[in-house]
Amino acid sequence: MELQTLKNILGPEGVITNKDIHGGYTTDWTGRYIGSTPAVLFPKDTAQVSQVLQWCFANSVAVIPQGGNTGMVGGATPLNGELILSLKKMTNIEETDGVSGQLVTQAGVTLGDVQQAAIKLGWKYGVDLSARDSASIGGTIATNAGGSQVLRYGNTRRQVLGLEAVTGTGEVVGDLRGLAKDNTGYHLPGLLCGSEGTLAVVTRARLRLVNAPEEEISILLGFESLQEALRVVEVVKKDLYDVQACEIFFRNGLSLVCDQFGLTPPWSTPSNVYLLVDAAGQSGLVDRISQSPLAGFLESSKYVAFGSDAVSRKRIWRYRELHTEAISATGVPHKLDVTIPHGRLADFYDNIEAVVRSIDNDAQLFLFGHAGDGNIHVNILGPEPEDLTVDKVVLEFVASIGGSISAEHGIGRAKASYLHFNRTDSEIELFRRVKVAFDPAGILNPGAIFNK
């Protein structure tokens, strides 16, 4: 491929080729998708992104936008030799406003850096996930990332007040005014959130911040049965106004985490099910919890641990956050991130093991996730990474009970064949027409969301 024009646009340090391209760009985080690319491009600003995409459009060259490459669905992997457009050098937080609680950032800034900038400003950014130090704001917008605090603050789409993006022809669209009310036609930020780099490259965003809590507390609870745990989930969602996360994991997952990372389990007797409840709010939090219906469960349970400062909270959170890494350190997992409709979680748990075993009797099944949102991460080790039979039956099962085959990770390449489990033919056709409007030459992330 003739790369001289791109080098002229980006400068020699803005294009890397051959031996300088390592797996961090071409292999996805799970290790399941391995691609290759002639070059990784590093624009520094929106004008450069626009020039690069004008060239790609004119020359029909496919390009994959990439942030931290922490996505879970092969959405940023160049399986067909596409160029990679990395936002890693677009790392300026350009504007912070401590009065309105907003900031404007380039898309390559990590989620962790935005969180820190918000704290410095006396506010908080309402999205959190354990890949925070690598995942980019552009990537979280492109995947409409969820994470542990959706229960309280909503997903990424809820945080984006305005954005700027470059379409597949190189045209710059959007605005960063962040008006509280602006019903002027279609809502571009809403459409581009979750578009997975198939419509436009997000270059900058104006984000809303939420009130910083004065106190935070983490509570770990152990249960014998899932039914007991689900009863507490209901109480937490309905009656604990300060709740900001309600996470679930199970005995085999915790055991794997403790083995892999040398952690001591929370109690000498293992529980079958664990809930991690995080509460945050104004001072007086402990009093409010002790007057809430949750207090009864806390008093009667033998298995409760509290974390009320940064160190003890982190210790508790490690049991949950290290699940993804512990599983990936054991093998290449089939990762299926699903939402179960309200009231069907018990049904799901009763059947999921049999569904997996119907394909591979020796498979290891690990479940964990965001119980408060009905969002469960189904991780399966055993079946060969390229054998997708187990993926199909699990997603079919989830769709059959009214769930979503992608809660927060997106469709990417991993689930493109199954989009029709949740979307009608007419809807998929409409999506394709929207893509053509933004990307008439089909150069932006081909193969993601849609089978070609």
Ligand X SMILES: Cc1cc2nc3c(=O)[nH]c(=O)nc-3n(C[C@H](O)[C@H](O)[C@H](O)COP(=O)(O)OP(=O)(O)OC[C@H]3O[C@@H](n4cnc5c(N)ncnc54)[C@H](O)[C@@H]3O)c2cc1C
Residues 6 or more apart whose CB falls under 8 angstroms from that of 438 comprise: 167, 168, 199, 200, 444
Measured distance CA(144)–CA(165) in Å, rounded: 15
Instruction: Kindly state the smallest distance separating residue 370's Cβ from ligand X, in Å.
Output: 7
Measured distance CA(365)–CA(441) in Å, rounded: 41
Which of 41, 142, 345, 376 touches ligand X (CB under 6 A)?
142
Q: Which residues of 55-93 are buried (b: 16+ CB within 10 A; e: fewer)?
A: bbbeeebbbbbbbbbbbbbbbbbbbeebbbbbbbbbbeb
Which of 14, 35, 67, 222 touches ligand X (CB under 6 A)?
67
Which of 196, 242, 278, 373 touches ligand X (CB under 6 A)?
196
In one-letter notation, the amino acid at residue 98 is: G
Using CB under 6 A as the binding rule, whether residue 439 contacts ligand X is answered as no
Using CB under 6 A as the binding rule, whether residue 167 contacts ligand X is answered as no
Handedness of CA 424, 428, 430, 431 (dihedral sign): positive
Using CB under 6 A as the binding rule, whether residue 140 contacts ligand X is answered as yes
Measured distance CA(202)–CA(218) in Å, rounded: 34
Total number of residues binding ligand X (CB under 6 A)?
A: 37
Binding marks (x or -) toward ligand X, 354..393, rule CB under 6 A? ----------------------------------------
Query: Look-up: residue for tokens 């160190």?
Result: 311
Stretch that binds ligand X, among 145-153, 260-268, 277-285, 357-365 (CB under 6 A): 145-153
Using CB under 6 A as the binding rule, whether residue 229 contacts ligand X is answered as no
Stretch that binds ligand X, among 118-126, 140-148, 388-396, 429-437 (CB under 6 A): 140-148
Using CB under 6 A as the binding rule, whether residue 113 contacts ligand X is answered as no
Q: Which residue is nearest to ligand X (CB)?
A: 139
Measured distance CA(266)–CA(219) in Å, rounded: 12
Measured distance CA(248)–CA(337) in Å, rounded: 14
Stretch that binds ligand X, among 129-137, 180-188, 283-291, 379-387 (CB under 6 A): 129-137
Residues that bind ligand X (CB under 6 A): 29, 64-72, 75-76, 87, 107, 129-131, 135-136, 138-140, 142-143, 145-147, 196-197, 201-202, 324, 408-409, 412, 445, 448
